[in-house]
Structure 1
Amino acid sequence: MTHSPPRSQRSPVPPIWRSNLNPNQLGLAALSLVSLGLFIGLTLNLFERFKVHRLILAAGDSAGESYILSKAIETVVERHYPNIDLTVQETGGTSENLKLLETDRVQLATAQADIPTGPTARLIADLYEDKFQLLVRRGSGIKHFTDLAGKRLALQQKGGQYKSFLKVAQHYGLRETDFRFVGQSDQDADEAFLWNRADAVFRVRALGNPTIATLIQTGNILIPIEQAAAMQIKYPAFRSTIIPQGTYRGDPAIPAVDLATVGVERTLLARETVDPEVVRALSSVLFERRQEIAEAIPPNQSEIDPLLANIHQPETDTGMSPPLHPGAQAYYDRDKPSFIQEYADYVGLILTVILLMGSWVWEGKRWIERQQKNRADAFSDQVIQLMNQARNLENRSHLEDIRQKLIGILTEAVDALNEDRISEESFQSFRVVWQIALDLVRERRDALVQEPK
C-alpha cells in the first residue's frame, strides 16, 4: 500500500495575492479620523467663541472728539460683546497713534486720513470729518493764510495736526521757518493764544469743538483756508468743504459767512492681525448701535452726538488709503449675495453635469464589476466541471491531468486578478470553489491508492 505524501511535500500551489486591509477596519479608521477632526474643530470653535480679545484703542487727547467718541464705543462694545475687552488710551494725536499701532502697542487707532499709515494698518470706518480751522486775533491784520508769515502761531511742532498745517503752508509757498510756533502741547498753545502770546491758532477738529468755541467767544475770528480743491491734487485725502455761517454762534453769527476750508476724514484703524470676527463685531456696533453710543456720551459733551451721523464706509478706490480690514469688508458685504446665489444658474448647470457624469461613472463601475464577476464565474464553472469529472474517475493518471488543469485555471485567475479583470471579492469566491475541487481530487487519488490491485 502506497501512502500519499504529507501536505508539506505536495505540489506547490501558485501564490495567491491577498489584501491585508480589512474593509471594516478601514471604515472604522476613517470614521475615527472624521470624529477626531470634528472634535478638534468644535473645540477650536468653542475656544474662539469664549476667548477674550484684549484691544487697546489709541484715541488722542481726552478732550478731543475722537477720544470721547471712542469711550462711548468702548461702553457699547463691552455691553454686547463680553469677550472683547476694549481699553481707550489717551495719546498725543494721529502721529503717536500710528506709531503705537505699527509697533503693536495698540491694536486700534483713530487718525487723520491725510497722514500716511504704516504697512500693518487697515481701515475699519470713517468716523466723521475734521476741518482745518484757523482762528486769528481780531486786529492782528491776518485775513488770509499767507498773512501768517512771520506771525506767532499757537501750534505744537509735532503730530498729525502740525503735518497738515505744513502741507497747506507748502501749497501757498511758505516754509516751516516762515512761522514762529508757540506751545509744547495743544493746551499750552491755547493758553498762549488766550494770553496774547500768539497771533493765531490752527486746529484740525470737528465743527463745534468746545475748545475752539471758547477761543472764539473771547472776540477772535475764523478766517478761510481757500484752494482746497487745488490742494487735493497733491493730497487726495483733502476735501473742499466749508465752516457754515453761525457754526459757533447764531446771533451775531460766528462765522458771519460760510468760510471755505479743508476737510479730512477721522478714520478708525486696526492692525491687520486683529481677528476679523472682532473687527466685524466693532463694525456692527458702529453702524447698528449709534443710538446706544450717543446715550453713552456724557450729557455735558452732547456736541459729539451729531458726529455719529457721519460714520460711513471708507472709500478705498483711490489707492492712497490703507486697505479695508477683512473683518470690516465682511461686514460691508453682509447683504451681498453669496457666490452660489449670484451664479445660481451656472452652479445648477455644473451640478447637473457633475450628477450626469457621476451617474455614468457609477454605471460604468457597475458594468466593470459585472464583467469581473462573469469572468470569475467562468473560472468557477470550469472548476466545477473538472470536479464532477473527478468524482467518477478510476484512473490516477486522469486525476493528475485534472489536478494540472485546476492549477492552470488558478494561474489564469491570479493573472486576471493582477490585471484587474476580476475583483478581489470574486477571486476569493472562486478560490473557495477551487480549493474544494483540489481537495476532492486528492481524496479521490488517495482512495484509488488504497484499493487492492
Structure 2
Amino acid sequence: MAAFKTPLRFFNDIDSVSKLGLLSLGLASATLLVFVSFNFINRFSGTKLTLVAGDEKGESYIISKAIEEVVERKSNIQIDVVATGGTKENLEKLEKGEADLATAQADVITEEINIIRNRNPQLSEPQLQVAERTVVILYKDLFQLVVRDANIKKFVQLKGKTISLPAKGGQYESFKQVAKHFGLSEKDLKITGLDSNGKSNPAYNDGLADKDFLGKKADALFRVRALGNRSISALVQKSSGRLVAIEQAEAMKILHPALESAIIPEGAYGGNLPIPETDIATVAVSRLLLASDKVDKDVIQEITQIIFENRREIANAVSPNHPEVKPLVATISQPNTTNSSGIPPIHPGAIAFYEQSQPSFIQEHADYVALLLTVVLLIFSWLRQIKIWIEGRKKNEADEYIESAIKLMNKSLGDVVFRQQLLDEAFNAAAKALIQERISQESFRTFNEAYKTTREALEREAKFDIENIEKNQRELAAKYIKEVVELLNYDMQNKDLLQQKIDVILREVAQRLIADEISEESFRTFIEAYKTTRDAIERN
C-alpha cells in the first residue's frame, strides 16, 4: 500500500503543466500499444476471404483454386473458393456482402454499371455506387459457338434453332447481347436452360448442356470460355460439331465497351485435321478478379503482389487434370481503366501495388536522362575549361604586369626616373586591364603589392642617388674652395698671375654649376671664398 501511495504523492507534488505532459504521454503510449497489438494480432491471426468463382469445371474456378493455394502459402490470408452459377451470381454475392472476391466477365459488370447509371443519370463517375473493384485481369474469354448443322454458317442463322445453354450467369447475358445485336430475341430461339414457362432452370448447368448437344437435342451450343477449353475440345472432336464465326465484334463494342475482337486460330482444337479449318473471327471479353470495395486496401495489395510475383507457382498449383488452364496464368495482367475499357475502377489496394511496381520517370526514360546528363556534364566541362582558360589568360596577363614591375628594380634598365615612368605606365596598363576584365581583382591586388614594393625600392634608390650627388657636389665645391684659398700662400708679388688663376677656377666652377655638378648653395659658398681671396690678393 505504501508503495502505491509513493507514486501518487510524487504525482501530487509536481506542477499542473508537468501533470498534463505526463497524462498526454501516458495516453499516447497506451494508444500506440493498442494499435501495435491490434496489428500484431491481425497479422498473425490472418484475414479470411470468400472468393466466388463460377462453375467447378470452368477456368476461372480452377485458377482461383491455384491462387488460393499460393496466397495461403505466402501469407496469413485465407481464401475460401466457392463454386457458383457464374458471373451474375458472383456479382450478387459481392453486392450483398456474402463474398469478398469474385471472378466475372467484364461485359456483364459493364451492363450492371450501365443499369445503375441509367437509373441515376445525375451521378458522376466517382459517385456510382458499385461494390465491384477490379484487381487483375485473369485471362481472355472467347465467345465460342458450336453447331451440328452444316448449313448454319452465321450467328443470324440460329433463328428458330435450339441452343444448348444454361439460362443463368454471365455466359447467358453475353449470348443475349450477341443475339440482340443480330436482331434475335428470346422468342426467336429455344434455350435448353429455360423451362416450359420460359423461366430459368437453376439445376441446368454446362454439363447437362453438353449432354443435350451430344444427344442431338440441340442444334448449337454457346460458351464463353478460354481458348482450348476442354469441354469445347471434346464437343468438336467427338461429335460432328463445328465452330462458327461470331463477327462484328467492333460494332458490338459501341454499346458494350468491354467486348473485343478476337480470333480462334486454325487448328486450335486439333492439328492433324485442323479444327477449325481456318481462322475464325469471334468476340473476346476479359475475365476479371474483383474485390469488394469494403476489403482492406493492404490485404488486396498483398494479394495482388503475390499473384504477379508468383505466377509460375500459381501455374504449377493448377490441377494436373487441367493442363489447358496452365498457360492462362501467364496472361494475368494489369487492368486498364480508360473510358473505353469497360471495366470497373481498380481497387485502391491494387493501385498501390501497380504504382509501386511501375517504373519511375527516371527509370522509364533512363536513356534520355543518361543522354541529358551526358550533355549537361559535357557542357559543364566545356564551361569549366573555358573558365579555366579565361582565368589562366587573366593570370598570365597579370603575371606579366607583376613581372614587369619587379624587373624595374634592376638598375641596368636605366636611371631611377626612367624606371619610375615605366612603373607608372605598367600601373595604368594593369588598371585598364582590370576595367576591361582581362585580369581579376585578386590578380590586380597582387600586382598592386608588387607595384608598391617596386615603387618604394625606386624611391629609396632615388633618395640614395640624391644624397650621393649632393655629397659629391659638396666635395667638389670644397675642392675648388681649397684651391682658391691656397692661392693666398703664393708669392703676392705677381698679382696678375694669381688673379688669372683664380679667374680660371671661377670659370671652371661656373661650368660645373651649369652642368649641375655643383649645387647653387655650394656655388654661393665658393663665391664667398672667391671674393675673400680676390680681395686679399688685391690688398697685398
Q: Secondary structure at the match of 2:349?
A: helix
Q: Deviations over 1:271-323 (max 9, x none)?
A: 11111121112111211101111111122211101101111111112274321
Q: Distance in 2 between matches of 1:132 and 1:335?
A: 33
Structure 1 residue 48 displacement after superposition: 2.6
2:100 is the alignment partner of 1:107: yes
2:260 is the alignment partner of 1:239: yes
Task: Report % sequence identity.
Answer: 49
Q: Distance in 2 between matches of 1:310 and 1:336?
A: 18
Q: Deviations over 1:388-431 (max 9, x none)?
A: xxxxxxxxxxxxxxxxxxxxxxxxxxxxxxxxxxxxxxxxxxxx
Structure 1 residue 201 displacement after superposition: 0.4
2:330 is the alignment partner of 1:330: no
Q: Secondary structure at the match of 1:249?
A: coil
2:217 is the alignment partner of 1:197: yes
Give structure 2 stretches of 5+ with no counterpart: 1-13, 114-129, 194-203, 362-540
Q: Distance in 2 between matches of 1:185 and 1:298?
A: 22
Structure whose CA Rg is larger: 2
2:83 is the alignment partner of 1:90: yes
Q: Deviations over 1:349-369 (max 9, x none)?
A: xxxxxxxxxxxxxxxxxxxxx
Partner of 1:54: 48
Q: How does 1:16-27 map to 2 (within 5 A)?
A: 22-27=16-21
Code of the aligned partner of 1:303: E
Partner of 1:410: none
Q: How does 1:50-449 map to 2 (within 5 A)?
A: 50-81=44-75, 83-116=76-109, 117=112, 119-139=130-150, 141-183=151-193, 184-217=204-237, 218-318=239-339, 320-335=342-357
Change (3 A) 1:64 1:335: closer
Change (3 A) 1:338 1:196: closer
Q: Deviations over 1:334-360 (max 9, x none)?
A: 135899xxxxxxxxxxxxxxxxxxxxx
Code of the aligned partner of 2:189: F
Q: Distance in 2 between matches of 1:74 and 1:155?
A: 29
Q: Secondary structure at the match of 1:245?
A: coil
Q: Secondary structure at the match of 2:356?
A: coil
Structure 1 residue 23 displacement after superposition: 3.9
Partner of 2:495: none
Highest RCO, 1 vs 2 (Cα 8 Å, sep ≥ 6) = 1
Change (3 A) 1:338 1:133: closer
CA contact (8 A) 2:166 2:206 kept: yes
CA contact (8 A) 2:107 2:285 kept: yes
Structure 1 residue 154 displacement after superposition: 0.6
Q: Distance in 1 between matches of 2:20 and 2:98?
A: 51
Give structure 1 stretches of 5+ with no counterpart: 1-19, 340-453
Q: Distance in 2 between matches of 1:330 and 1:24?
A: 43
Change (3 A) 1:157 1:30: closer
Q: Which has a greater percent of helix?
A: 2
Q: Return the TM-score normalized by structure 2.
A: 0.57
Q: Return the TM-score normalized by structure 1.
A: 0.67
CA contact (8 A) 2:132 2:344 kept: yes
- Between Structure 1 and Structure 2, how many residues are aligned? 319
Structure 1 residue 138 displacement after superposition: 4.3
